[in-house]
Each structure stands twice: as structure tokens, then as C-alpha cells.
Amino acid sequence: MSIEIKAPSFPESVADGTIATWHKQPGEACKRDDLIVDIETDKVVMEVVAPADGSLSDITVAEGGTVMSNEIIAHFTEGAVATTQANEGQSAATATDQSDSSGPAVRKLLHENNLHATQVTGTGKGGRLLKEDVLNYLKHPTPVAVVTPAAPVAMAKEMPKESTNQMVSPSSGPQHRTSRRVPMTRLRATIAKRLVSAQNEAAMLTTYNEVDMSPIMALRKQYKAQFEKAHNGTRLGFMSFFVKAAAEALKRYPAVNASLDGNDMVYHAYQDVSVAVSTDRGLVVPVLRDVEAMTLADIEKGIVDLANQAKSGKLTLEEMQGGTFTITNGGIFGSLLSTPILNAPQTAILGMHKIQDRPVAENGQVVIRPIMYLALSYDHRMIDGKEAVQFLVTVKELLQDPARILLEI
């Protein structure tokens, strides 16, 4: 029975999609719910799975093609099984078995004359090579060139030392200086457009500060095992402290939690924090909802779940829309300091960085402390410098004295 494979129903904000990857080809057997094709939109990658056991009979939209909502992209034949791969496997196995099943006299004769079993036609039972086959080939050789993995090694052994020293590395020639042109994916193009738009439209400014991570690191070390045991394997990381500190600071400085809509300033009475996640397809920012009401365990679990969905391409549009503030952590890649770009229409973004031991002055003494640089980029059209600096100082103070997060002071 033939079944039409259609593109998913796109949300209203998505006009069309692009066929990213066909994971199954016509004639290739697949089972029900096997992934058939990825369709990339401006925001997410949607997956289409097999409706039943069978195989694709034909593909109507090739990779790179544009598809509309519910457009037919392929036809599927239920119950069809591909046999091409099996036939190819039998052919390859036959060629290998010719040499493996030959007697020692045949293998010796092949080796002495630098021959490969595939060069000689076997006349024995099941295509097996006989000694007479090799001798006949030597008398009347067939001009067939076969290169085996062992051939270059054998040639190198037989080559005089002078010739070996004059060999040129294959990668040193100009013929290997190649370039490859690849079109941008929809997601990458959308990211590029949004970043350029944010820089061109916003009056973006960045303020910096540093935070001593000793208190949080000590707290994490002391309660890490108990926390994981009490919360069903959820690990206590640094991100939950930063999210909670940011949520508390956002309550005190509402302008940092606002967004611009034309000439209107929209102040949000809730804190939905977008967390930047790097994937193979590009940077995405799924949203943690109502973080002011979440516990540290809820935040850690939510971040892990969203990150796993992002890396597997299973995020939905709803999970990526509506954030009021963004946190990005370049420190996991070793970044010491950076200037994060606004995630429009939000008006601020907090950048975390690498924790590094540095000498600091305390009570007239030089001591070594684990220090992290913090960066807050903000839209100066909406946020004054005073508010931005005070917001970042508040985040710093809450992180250096974690008890204040619980006490909300």
C-alpha cells in the first residue's frame, strides 16, 4: 500500500521549511517510527518518521528543497523491503572468500607474483581459486589493475632507499589546496540575521565585573553528594546559582527584565530566563519559565532537559519563545572574557566566563581566589548605565554570599 509522506503542519510564524537530510533512501528498508527526514525551519528542526514498516518508493523533494506546510515530499510503500544492499554484500563477500578459501599453495603463488585474488578468475567449486588458475593467469595475464591496502606498503618495501627519500608528501602539493562552498542552513542564516539586527538597531553597551566563586564552590563541594541523592540524580552545578541570582536582581531592576515593542517599553512581572545552548546546527536559546518560583534542583533539571532536546533537535517553538532575559556561558569553552550580543527583543544578556585562579588583595594581603568575569550587555535606549551597573553588582553580591539568595536580601 502506498502512503504519502507530507511535511508537518508549520506554526503560523513559520512560512516554509527546507529539506535538511534524508536519512532513508528509496528502496532502503525501515521500521515504523524510524527517522526518515529532517526539515529545518527558521527556528527548529522538525522530524518526519516512517508511518509503518516498509521503504520509500520515491522522493519528490530533494535535500535543500523548500517545502510548504503539509506538502507531499515522498511516497512510502508499506511492507516493501530493500534487497539491493543484501546483493551488494554478497558480491563483496564472494571476492573476499576467494582468497580466504584458497589453499596454501595458491596463496603462496599469489604472494610470490604480487597478485591479488580478485585479479584471477576461479574455476573451482563455488568460484574457488585453484593453482592451475593462477598458472594460467601468469601465462596469459589480463590487464586489470587492482589496488589493495597492502600494495602501497609492498611497493615501499621494494623501492630503493634513494627513491624513498625523494617521495613527496601527498598533502604538500598545490592540488590539495581546495576550498568548499556550503550554503548557510536556515537556522544559521536566521541567527546571523538576528545578531546583525541586534547590533544595528540597539544602542548596545557592555559593563563588566568580577565575582569570587569561592563561596559557591565551597557550598557545592559540601552538599554536592547530598543534593544529588535527594533530587534523584540531579547534579548541583553553577548555572542554577546564576539563574536564581539573576532572577532576584531582575525583581529589583525591572528595566533589565523588560523588552521593546516599537516605541513601547514592556515591563514583565515574571522572569523567563533564556539559556544559550550550543548545538551542531547553531546556537539556540530555550526558555526556563517562571524561574523566580523554581528551586535550584528544578533549574538544574530544566537546563539539562532543554540542552538534551536542543542537541537532539527536538525543541519546540514554544520552548524557544518568550524569554525576558538571557544567560550565556562561554566559560564552558574556555572563554575568559567576551561581549555577549543582545537576544532581541530583550534588553539585556548576562555573560558567564571561565573560572580562573587570580591574585586578589584582601585585608592588605595578596591571596589566590577563583575569579570569574561577568559581562552584562544592555540596550542603552531602555536601561541607564546606573541601573545596568547596579544590577550586575547585585548579581555579584548574591553569588559571593549565596545565603542572600534564600533570604532575598
- pLDDT tens-digit readout, 298-316: 999 999 999 888 888 788 8
Residues classed as catalytic: 380, 384
- Average pLDDT score, the chain: 81
Which residues, 6 or more positions from 200, have their beta carbon under 8 angstroms from its beta carbon?
Answer: none
Residue 318 has what pLDDT?
A: 81
Q: CA angle at residue 273 from 267 to 274, to 5 degrees?
A: 115
pLDDT at 144 over 80: no
Q: Please tell me whether the overall predicted TM-score, pTM, comes out greater than 0.75 for this model.
A: no
pLDDT bucket at 138, cuts 50 / 70 / 90: confident
What contacts 125, CB < 8 A, 6 or more positions away? none
Concatenated DSSP letters of 227-256: HHHHTTT----SHHHHHHHHHHHHHH-GGG
How would residue 207 be classed by pLDDT, with cut points 50, 70 and 90? very high
* Max avg pLDDT among 70-84, 122-136, 240-254: 240-254
The answer to which of 100-114, 274-288, 365-379 has the lowest mean pLDDT is 100-114
Which grid coordinates are listed for 14?
Answer: 513559520
pLDDT at 129 over 80: no
The position carrying cell 607474483 is 113
The pLDDT score that the predictor gives to residue 81 is: 54
Nearest-5° angle of CA 386, CA 390, CA 391?
Answer: 115
296 vs 218, 235, 272, 335, 375, CA distance in Å?
16, 10, 15, 25, 23
Q: Is 101 helix (H, G, I), strand (E, B) or coil?
A: coil
For residue 267, the model assigns a pLDDT of 93
Assess whether pLDDT exceeds 80 at residue 112.
Answer: no
Amino acid 248: pLDDT: 94
What is the tens place of the pLDDT at every residue in 18-51?
888 898 899 888 888 888 888 887 667 788 888 8
Determine the 3-state secondary structure of 51 from DSSP: coil
Residue 174 pLDDT class (50, 70, 90 cuts): low
Task: Please list, residue by residue across 173-195, b when 16 or more beta carbons sit within 10 angstroms of its beta carbon and e when fewer do.
Answer: eeeeeeeeeeeebbbeebbeeee
The confidence band for 165, taking pLDDT boundaries of 50, 70 and 90, is very low
All domains of the chain, ordered by start, with CATH?
2-78 (2.40.50.100), 97-153 (4.10.320.10), 186-407 (3.30.559.10)
DSSP state of 346: B
Per-residue confidence (pLDDT) for residue 20, from 0 to 100: 83
3-class secondary structure, 38: strand
pLDDT at 145 over 50: no
316: left (phi over 0), alpha (psi -120 to 50) or beta: beta
Round to whole Å and give the CA distance between 346 and 274.
10
**Partners of 207 in the β-ladder:** 376
Check whether 204 has a pLDDT greater than 60: yes
How far is 267 from 324, CA to CA, in rounded Å?
9
Q: What's the rounded Cα separation, in Å, for the pair 318 and 286?
A: 9
The reported pLDDT for the residue numbered 150 is: 42
